[in-house]
Amino acid sequence: MTTMTASERAAAQAYLRLLESTQAVLTDPQLAPYAGVMLTHPMAEADEALRAAGLSGNEDRLLRLVSSLRASPASVWGRTG
């Protein structure tokens, strides 16, 4: 398991929220035309969290953190131990 700081965890969670929001919007034919508007906030949140964690441009580390987060069911709900 990858050890992560609180800011890295927040960035990984924001990234996952962005992915889930994107999937939800783009798979709904009625929402897809509004994707740009509907995804503005999740994109901004993820960008800010990535910057705060020092992960902008470090996709390898981000994806390892996301993988680690997804592999740990307890972490999904914010519990770490």
pLDDT tens for 11-49 read 999 999 999 999 999 999 999 999 999 999 999 999 999
Q: How confident is the model at residue 70 (pLDDT cuts 50, 70, 90)?
A: confident
Please report the pLDDT score of residue 72 as a whole number. 72
- Identity of the residue numbered 4: M
Which residues make Cβ contacts (< 8 Å) with residue 11, sequence separation at least 6?
Answer: 46, 49, 50, 52, 53, 55, 62, 65
Please report the pLDDT score of residue 77 as a whole number. 47
Q: Which residue has the higher pLDDT, 76 or 28?
A: 28
Q: List pLDDT tens digits, range 40-64.
A: 999 999 999 999 999 999 999 999 9
Helix, strand or coil, per DSSP, at residue 66: helix
